[in-house]
Structure 1
């Protein structure tokens, strides 16, 4: 039987679908600490397996992770010259190979979950159908309907202006898709059991991890559930590109570095208690 003929309901079922959490850490001590401390009480009470893959940070964040007895830590050797998203994807695949649960939540260290009901909500979405591959959101921020409308309109116009220029033989950057279609991995639930049965994983090429996986799963007839930003951000906060900014990749004067610092200061005010618990 070919993969395209295989359906989830053809596989042996388990009585109670379950999930694990996986995060990838790279030189983000402050936000890694805050992210995990917000999760700690819930995952310990519920017996949820947490996997953290460190991409050779060799800093305070790795020392902190080594001190935790409630996570499964994988210390990945130096990624070398791998691009950031490739190193991240290969780290996810290391964890995928080890998890034994049916489902796997991907979280970023710049994702701060303040309402743990998000996990149950997303599990309900993913288990509505035997052939559901993933649940998540295509936006990394809740901009509100006005900013979202403006963003989509401006990107739509830019896309078609570039297409027209290319058609006329004028110099132009390649037109980029104006509408987001791929789930963003800051908080995404994947059907790990189904992925493994099809021999699929997160880092399949040079694209952002999960993008080609999503395209392949959809092409095989499996479903993807898209949550609105308004819905998912009821449960959590996320710093867009926070992991990159925290690692110092952008430089101290970059716009996103300044946005990261401002957002982190605000969130530390909100979740300061978790940060203080982590530092004791």
Structure 2
């Protein structure tokens, strides 16, 4: 990456007390990304947690430390952080990202830009969920999608549950600004933006989960797994910790995680 070039993409990352995840996330971005980009990390009141000390010494990110007026609900704080990060960034494309989303391919950001630029009406690309499913889960999802297509649900209604979520979603800034679309809403992060775009005549393109997973890995519920006080179920925590531990054991992932030079 050329640090002096104008960024093409602003990567916005809310954060709360996840030192190992945010360290791997940022170092993987640094290791795998060639296009000019900027990263804005918004800390939602981590206080004296070691993760905040780490973020303060990463010299290529813009760190915003929130210390007050933070929504006590985790999803509310997350959406607030996304809007703050967007307002503090400048690139023509905005990428909403989570600390538990990890790039694993050198063309990950190029690929996302290709997906949004194949159609001039496409103003957002991403997936509904981004996780590896069992064969039975995959079969159920195919059946569910076929039924949804047959019913032809109207965009923006409760009959259409699929929308681009915020774990790895790319947006055109000028369209979000034109339509005055923000993450803060009464809906799950990204849903109001997805259907706001569609109802205004733009396209919000749902990508193949299987193809997306070639480029990034999502350690689902990572923050809630590492911070049980946020209210995750015991089963979610147990399965999540096992998934995170297994991922970190990969030699290539371990090498990136331990490479402190990527912080500079």
Fold match (TM-score > 0.5): yes
3-state DSSP of counterpart to 1:249: helix
User: For residues 253 and 222 of structure 1, do their structure 2 counterparts lie closer, same or farther at Cα, with a shift above 3 Å needed?
Assistant: closer
Q: Distance in 1 between matches of 2:203 and 2:238?
A: 38
1:193 aligns with 2:174: yes
Counterparts in 2 of 1:64 and 1:109: CA distance versus 1, 3 Å = same
Contact 1:133-1:224 at 8 Å conserved across structures: yes
1:212-231 equivalences in 2 (<5 Å): 212-231=192-211
2:52 to 53, 62, 77: 62
Question: Quick check: 1:140–1:238 contact (8 Å CA) kept in 2?
Answer: yes
2:234 to 254, 272, 277: 254
**How do residues 148-159 of structure 1 correspond to structure 2 at under 5 angstroms?**
148-150=138-140
TM-score when normalising by structure 1 = 0.79
Secondary structure of 1:183's match? coil
The answer to whether the 8 A contact 2:7-2:38 is kept is: no
Structure 2: gaps spanning 5 or more residues: 1-5, 148-157
Tell whether 2:186 aligns with 1:206: yes
Cross-structure match for 2:36: 47
Q: Which residue of 2 aligns with 1:134?
A: 124
Structure 1 gap segments, 5+ residues each: 1-15, 158-176
Q: 1:33 — aligned with what?
A: 23
Task: Give the superposition deviation at 1:153.
Answer: 5.6
102-111 or 246-255: bigger deviation: 246-255
Question: 1:41, CA displacement in angstroms?
Answer: 3.1
**Distance in 1 between the 2:231 and 2:180 partners?**
39
Question: Does 129-138 or 241-250 show the bigger shift?
Answer: 241-250
Q: Aligned with 1:49: secondary structure?
A: strand
Which residue is 1:78 aligned to? 68
Q: Residue 277 in 1 paired to residue 262 in 2?
A: no
| Matching residue of 1:160 | none
Alignment counterpart, residue 243 of structure 2, candidates 239, 251, 263: 263
For residue 148 of structure 1, give the secondary structure of its aligned residue in structure 2: helix
Counterparts of 1:91 and 1:253 in 2: how far apart (Å)?
A: 24
Counterpart residue number, 1:3: none
SS in 1 for 2:259: helix
Structure 2 residue aligned with 1:13: none
CA distance in 1, matches of 2:98, 2:78: 10
Report deviation, 1:150.
Answer: 2.9
Following superposition, the deviation at residue 155 of structure 1 comes to 11
Residue of structure 2 equivalent to 1:182: 163
TM-score by length of 2: 0.83
Give per-residue Cα distances to partners, 1:64-94, cap 9 Å, x unaligned: 0001101011112235453111110110101
Larger radius of gyration: 1
Contact 2:7/2:37 (CA < 8 Å) preserved in 1? no
Contact 2:102-2:216 within 8 A present in 1 as well: yes
